[in-house]
Structure 1
């Protein structure tokens, strides 16, 4: 009887030990929220965070690590940050970014910020990706970018010394696949928020603009002069983009169909996503194909370089005259205003650096 009692005691001891171990293995992720700038709180609706990928501290941290890790590429030489440099507002300085094989595409790398306010949920210059998660999925298997495959990437991450534990903390599993990888990267990308430029401070009545900057803003908002605000936002839309697609008079004929190739609708040919005007100080070259090296060249295009085509946007009202025909003084002042949209704190934010 005494021996039987000992066995029963040992049984319950082992049972309690196993239960304690299981409790230790259970990890509860910490919910996170986006740091919404004051000007966005005043003038924009709440950002979009999908219910199937809520923000958690561990997911954001994991996404950041993956964003900067070259393990995602075929030969471990390229990361997301290779084409999306934090110091350049998450784009790069080349017209066409090169991939692991030294190949070049025909598109300029888009900057990454304020993505959680893209309510149309169309990403990339041509709108082919319908969520941030899907946008993060594409470069790994693109032959002119990372040129890998997701099975290989998942295996490398699975065999890594750290990643299985990090995925366990973020998603409750050590089984790594492309869905969880892109969810983590998307969580990090949603935190990339830029809303602290000189013009933001001006709207908050914390600083003044120079006479040149103020005149540039007035030109931007004037339908008879700059007429920029319809596509590129305003003091009421501090995203400085409508997140829509337009043919802005770059070409008379199209070698790149843009949105038209995605939708199959010829009325969409030559239409590309309106980029935000934030951080132009850091994001040259400009346009979907990086054809303009400077802000001056962009202004000259709208002033006297517009080209007529079958799908030209109706907002390009002065295409018949080649553009809005700005004076040299107005061009200089418009540039001065555009530079007030640069957010130095964003490109230097340690939360976004490797």
Structure 2
């Protein structure tokens, strides 16, 4: 009888956990203390693209956005939050998932990109299909393979949840809950996801903790010689759309799905290399598990696609040729772009 009792309790606990995962709010705490926050431009960064004039970041607005980011109430079956595909410990990427994993076990077609330094972006998603940070969450909310819901349902659920009336009033002055306020609160949270305190940043700003090793110094020199045109400092992306020769005939037409131009077929936004050590797998479809696989592609795997970026074809030589030693040096430098302060910042983590 004792053994049967233990089995029963184990099963009950398992059922409870499964139920909470699928239908509950996973411990989101609506009563967290509002953190003191202020958006500031890092000394080595340019002016942001996002204009905060109509949506200044406040402690209560940030708090509301943080809670919304982690609350699965906004998905179809209340099982998926923004944080499911954008995990704080992975620089808000989806660690070890090649493509997004949404409601009803549905798998998307593209890798969930990391979220940081969004205030410096004028376009979002791999194909640039969204043009404003405030509406960028709509893509995931309405995608049938992600949250699979709609704005009316989301607003209704927020209105029916007593805690949100208080949260919206603190953030915006009244208890009114609508889609614009929801998006602006989320933008206050995501715009504060600023990653600018890596070892590289401290090296550039000549701060304590910014001393490079010989290998990192050699890697930085290689980076500036062979990678910096597309991955421009300090954001480590030029925000352009390029083909890097992954497939002769791409299954995903990329930027072409937005512009409907044959010349954009197979092109995707150049991702930032910041925190790249933490954001595997890589490429728009998550095909590469490691940085070594990525560099191996550029060294010997680039294919002569119709829209291959000219920078990857010089004097009829494809790719970026790097010896094994050079690849190790480059990876050593790339690891200096990991911002441990950012990924460990409690303000950005689940409000439990």
The correspondence for 2:244, drawn from 248, 258, 271, is 248
The correspondence for 1:311, drawn from 307, 312, 318, is 307
- Whether 2:333 is the aligned partner of 1:329: answer no
- Whether 2:131 is the aligned partner of 1:126: answer no
* Conserved 8 A contact 2:41-2:47: no
Alignment CA distance shift 1:32-1:337 (3 Å) = closer
**How do residues 1-354 of structure 1 correspond to structure 2 at under 5 angstroms?**
33-40=38-45, 44-46=46-48, 48-93=50-95, 94-118=97-121, 121-206=122-207, 207-222=210-225, 227-233=226-232, 237-318=233-314, 320-354=316-350
The alignment partner of 1:315 has SS state of helix
* Conserved 8 A contact 1:137-1:178: no
Deviation at 1:46, TM superposition (A): 4.4
Query: Matches of 2:89 and 2:238 in 1, distance apart?
Result: 24
Query: Matches of 1:47 and 1:203 in 2, distance apart?
Result: 22
Q: Deviations 1:208-259 (Å, cap 9, x if unpaired)?
A: 211111111111112xxxx2101101xxx21111111111111211211111
* Conserved 8 A contact 1:136-1:182: yes
- Structure 1: give runs of 5+ residues left out of the alignment: 1-29
Q: Deviations 1:286-341 (Å, cap 9, x if unpaired)?
A: 01110110000111111111111221112213483332221110111111111111
Query: Matches of 1:35 and 1:85 in 2, distance apart?
Result: 23
Query: Matches of 1:55 and 1:134 in 2, distance apart?
Result: 16
Instruction: Work out the number of aligned pairs and report it.
Output: 314
Alignment CA distance shift 1:37-1:136 (3 Å) = same
- Structure 2: give runs of 5+ residues left out of the alignment: 1-34
The alignment partner of 1:162 has SS state of helix
Root-mean-square deviation (CA), in Å? 1.9
Query: Matches of 1:170 and 1:242 in 2, distance apart?
Result: 34
TM-score (norm 2): 0.85
